[in-house]
Amino acid sequence: MKVYLDNSATTPMDPEVFEAMTPYFMENYGNPSSIHSHGRQARSTIEKSRKKIADLLNTSPAEIFFTSGGTEADNTAILSTIESLGVKRAITSKLEHHAVLHTLEYVAKTKGVDLQYVDLDADGRIDLEHLVSLVQNTSAFVSLMHANNEIGNLNNIPKIGELVKEHGGYFHSDTVQAMGKYVHDLSALKVDFVVGAAHKIYGPKGSGFLYINHETKIAPFIHGGAQERNMRGGTENVAGIVGLAKALEIAYRDMEHNRAYISSLKERMLVGLKDKIIGATFNGLSGNMNESLYSVINVGLPATDENDMLLFSLDIKGVSASGGSACASGSNIGSHVLTALNVDPDRGAIRFSFSKYTKPEEVDYAVAALAELMH
């Protein structure tokens, strides 16, 4: 049996998305910047997709900018805010995606920005009192994700947004893992930037978006043509944008059904892992159905000499997953998230992540395969 349980890395494409994209490869191939009929058709398609996304997120089309994906969107929000608004302090957590962490480390090193990390508890919950102390008396740039891609921890971004805005800061949330799984009402959320990537919601790779609140004025990150209302140079990926909009539309349409189904798969695996593997634990909040992303489990495994080979061994058995133990001292290999939580680097760690296409029998097979490797 071949089992794919790495959906936090990327999802298979929904056939409805593929069907929506197909005409824009071979038939409607005009450049959206051209003024002839082929170009106008492509431009109209992009603007319809922009409006669709804006409507789903309850915001204005003028606040949605298309990018090549989540990493570019994160970089744009961070680098352009630091450059345009003269921000002197940035605040994040050590659990953020590298698209955020490495970019903030870069601005700290090259722009003299004071980079601070908010305190976390043992399971990775953010210390909101410490966050308040960090944002006081400064127009800080705060970047905290909605859902963690490795351990599934969910942050209370409405509350965080209120705290940041109360103290005159800028709030960026990497919402890539949560987009399409939860409702994001951007007219109510106190946030300057949120991010989406199509390939996390059964859409194409290489297509994403950045929401920029209309009150936040920043300069472009990618210079060139006047595309995206002078905010992002480069010919737009028309097919990718169509796929992104269709994928988000389907995600909102089927959100409750998918949430119930995928949650049942997660609960099934949690029970199976506890039952079949002595000493199994769950990293971060991934074992808590109420405080973590319903599509992710990060299982901690007893220390053995074979832990370094677990992913490879699972792959041989036909199970595709991801993970990595905490970084050992002096080593850059491993999970920066688990290291930040002080997880024992000798313990194994596997991330299983589910999709709407995952079957219960695949979950059972993966649990049995892992249990066999642990004996």
- Structural domain boundaries in the chain: 15-253, 255-374
CATH topology of domain 15-253: Aspartate Aminotransferase; domain 2 (3.40.640)
pLDDT at 332: 55
CA–CA gap between residue 138 and residue 115 (Å, rounded) = 13
pLDDT at 35: 96
Contact between 291 and 304 under an 8 Å Cβ cutoff? The reply is no
pLDDT at 216: 96
Contact between 251 and 88 under an 8 Å Cβ cutoff? The reply is no
**Average of pLDDT values for 194-217?**
98
CA–CA gap between residue 211 and residue 156 (Å, rounded) = 19
For residue 329, pLDDT beyond 70: no
Residue at 147: amino acid letter: A
The Cα-based distances of 328 to 125, 334, 337 in angstroms read: 23, 8, 13
**Average of pLDDT values for 184-204?**
98
Contact between 91 and 141 under an 8 Å Cβ cutoff? The reply is yes
CA–CA gap between residue 371 and residue 375 (Å, rounded) = 7
**56-60, 63-67, 188-192, 327-331: least confident range:** 327-331
CA–CA gap between residue 207 and residue 193 (Å, rounded) = 17
Q: Is the whole-model pTM more than 0.85?
A: yes
Q: Does the annotation mark 327 as catalytic? A: yes
pLDDT at 324: 72
pLDDT in tens, 151-190: 999 999 999 999 999 999 999 999 999 999 999 999 999 9
Q: Determine the 3-state secondary structure of 296 from DSSP.
A: strand
**Average of pLDDT values for 132-138?**
93
pLDDT at 305: 74
pLDDT at 18: 98
Q: 198 pLDDT band (50/70/90 cuts)? A: very high
Contacts 24+ apart (CB under 8 A), 259-266: 259/181, 259/294, 261/356, 262/294, 262/295, 262/354, 262/355, 262/356, 262/358, 263/289, 263/294, 264/360, 265/354, 265/358, 265/360, 265/363, 266/294, 266/295, 266/296, 266/297, 266/354
Task: State what percent of residues in the chain have pLDDT above 90.
Answer: 93
For residue 94, pLDDT beyond 70: yes
Catalytic residue among 327, 334, 344, 368: 327
**Average of pLDDT values for 234-262?**
98
- Sign for the CA dihedral angle at 364, 291, 173, 106 comes to negative
Q: 330 pLDDT band (50/70/90 cuts)? A: very low
Q: What is the CATH number of domain 255-374?
A: 3.90.1150.10
